[in-house]
């Protein structure tokens, strides 16, 4: 079974994401900031990470760099969840090591398509 880590500090966004994941029958844990996400990644191997970019204590880009440098996480996809939607933002996130991008506000069908893409095959 696919295990996801959701890293999101906004309460309303986290509720929406969790509701989508529950509706898809996915198993997930939740972290409210980058430091907590790193600690959780050290304790459990996740198959997919949904990463907000603007987080307290440590942003999503730095958090992703640290997690992706962990031996077990080199090939684990990390999808950016962000309100940053200016031209070049997506390319900047992909260049920083994130594997994909979902902009806020979320399009639920886009979120589901991304989840299906990354959860439908063996990691």
Global pTM value: 0.91
Whether the link from the prior residue into 105 is cis, omega within 30° of 0, is: yes
| Residue 109 clears pLDDT 60, i.e. is over it | yes
How many domains is the chain partitioned into structurally? 1
The CATH number that applies at residue 112 is: 3.40.50.2300
**CA 53-114-13 angle, 5° bins:** 45
Coil, strand or helix at 22 = helix
CB atoms within 10 A of CB 20: 18
pLDDT tens sequence across 78-106: 999 887 666 677 788 888 889 998 888 88
Q: 74 with 46: CB under 8 angstroms?
A: no
Q: 97 lies in which domain range?
A: 3-119
């Amino acid at each position: 079974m696919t295990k996801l880590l959701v890293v999101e500090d906004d309460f309303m966004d986290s509720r929406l994401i969790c509701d989508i994941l529950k509706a898809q029958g996915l198993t997930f844990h939740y972290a409210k900031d980058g430091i907590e996400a790193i600690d959780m990644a050290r304790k459990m191997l996740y198959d997919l990470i949904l990463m907000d970019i603007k987080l307290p204590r440590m942003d999503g880009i730095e958090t992703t760099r640290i997690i992706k440098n962990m031996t077990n996480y080199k090939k684990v996809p990390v999808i950016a969840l962000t309100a940053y939607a200016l031209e070049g933002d997506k390319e900047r996130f992909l260049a920083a090591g994130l594997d994909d991008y979902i902009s806020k506000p979320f399009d639920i069908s886009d979120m589901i398509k991304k989840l299906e893409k990354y959860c439908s095959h063996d990691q």
